[in-house]
Structure 1
Amino acid sequence: MAPSMFARILPLLLISRALSAPLPAAVNGTKYLFVFGDSYTSTGFSITGAKPSAANPLGNPSLNKLNTMSGGLTWPGFLATQFNTSLTYAYVFAVAGATVDNSIVPAYSSSVPSISDQVKTWTTNLQSRPSYAPWTAEDALAAVWIGVNDVGNSYSQSGEEARLNKDLDRYFALLGTLYTGGIRNFALLNIPPTQKTPQMKGQSNVASLVSAITLWNSQLLTRVTAFLTSSPEANITLVDTQEPWNTVIADPKSYGAPDATCVNANGKSCLWYNSYHPGQAIHKVVAQAVASALKGSFF
């Protein structure tokens, strides 16, 4: 018998507690983390390059030459190298600038692979469970952190609410594609408070940005319920990224930064890699939030 709907949704809310039963108990052995997103996630991974291994759980590039906008690891890298409880192979399909679908909310360039394109890459290369990634429904997790560019490219335009709702429809259709392909465990990260980035802080239209972020985040939970009705074997963990961001921004000195707005491309001496992208401290607390939400199941 399938678990009850509410037992299959595990939110990590602002009050940092779960509202439902935990996901199924973790399986032993190697785990597979399939990650989709934008520059807040990307590592420079190419499916045609070296595959994740015990020596480098991110596959390619090498760990000391990652192509990230954090100055080092992004959150899936921390998950696979520091918060993993067993060997975790992370296939990070995320690409800087990505939106859910370029036909709905275009990225800055039509050549940027959207989540739709990233899922297609997964379907082509990994759905068949190749010998280098013999994943199962029990040991695989699909994680998605998207929406920053969708909202950022929409919030100041007319018809923004209808566009974002169409975008979210497509988002959950793509989750359906992954489900059809055999994925049963999902982690969905909401949009962080990007109005607090140095680039956005103090801008005159920031209230519109906050409103759009709120719309997106509230719709995630609403749509999860509908998705679980049509996908009876799915388990979905909703991870709040607002809380970890706010925690670090409120106390920058505890995380190695002199203040909450300085920028340094080393990703360590300031909270921000650049004016719109978090450094490693914020990525690490986001990873910790994901691991905590999935404690006892995937981590």
Structure 2
Amino acid sequence: MKRPRFIPDNFTLILIGLVVLASVLPVSGDAAVAADWLTNLAIALLFFLHGAKLPTQAVVAGLAHWRLHGLVFACTFLLFPAIGLALRPVLEPAIGPDLYRGMLFLCALPATVQSAIAFTSIARGNVAAAICSAATSSLVGIFVTPLLVLLMLGAAVQSMPLGEAIGKITVQLMVPFLAGQLSRRWIGSWVETNKAWLKYVDQGSIYLVIYTAFSRAVVEGIWNTLPLWQLASLTVACCVLLAVILVMVNFIARRLRFSVEDRITILFAGSKKSLASGVPMAQVLFSGAAMGTLLLPLMLFHQIQLMVCAVLAKRYARRPETP
């Protein structure tokens, strides 16, 4: 049976269930320490598999369409943060400083891979360019996102020197990713053959981070300090951010005279943010109860962007065939 358009997918429903579970049965004490170690190992494995899955040749070949990729990267890593900072006078009073920092963290993340490609395909856009843009954005984000977070959030990031923060990012994210790239010649075909069940490694690492992060937040009293009206305001803020970025990305792509197919690719690759990359990066960059609050905007935005982009993709798909 086909799932109704606005019903969240199973992945999102499990995330919601984990937040509820953490609210009722938070992990704490020695169990929390063990959960943190397990989470860090799962994140290292996640980025190792990402490196093993990403064909370097495809990324290099796809960079030939430099105008399209340059615009997608500009929207992802420049336009998004600029809009997030420009909306500060409106967003910060409405949702509070902690959730606003979560919005800025969201703005610094790379684009999604799977959903950007899927929506581009449904909308009959330039799928080859979407594959290259989304995959390269995920790779570039490992380097760019932590720097953007350090620039925009500063003191909200773990209290460590810049060099130490970059070193931690390198060890936990970049080294496993590069190890995966180097091992592609031996395990690349095996990873491709078994990608159907290896996706559960991706999801499992995200589940672990969400559960441990919200457990810490619950122990510190997040639900005593975060009223329902603030969650409602956050939902509106995510909708506003997505609406602004969709309008601006579409406007810029039209002004630069891209074809319809390329505009579709730019719209879906340049307006979406990756939960799969954001959750592990939050685990590395942030600590304590603050991480639970910082992840709330990303979780909400993730579901909203899926619902809105599904509607847009179907509308584009109904356009007449061009000769």
- TM-score > 0.5, shorter chain as reference: no
Higher fraction of strand: 1
- Greater Rg by CA: 2
Provide TM-score, normalisation by structure 2: 0.28
Higher fraction of helix: 2
Provide TM-score, normalisation by structure 1: 0.29
Structure scoring higher RCO (CA < 8 A, sep ≥ 6) equals 2
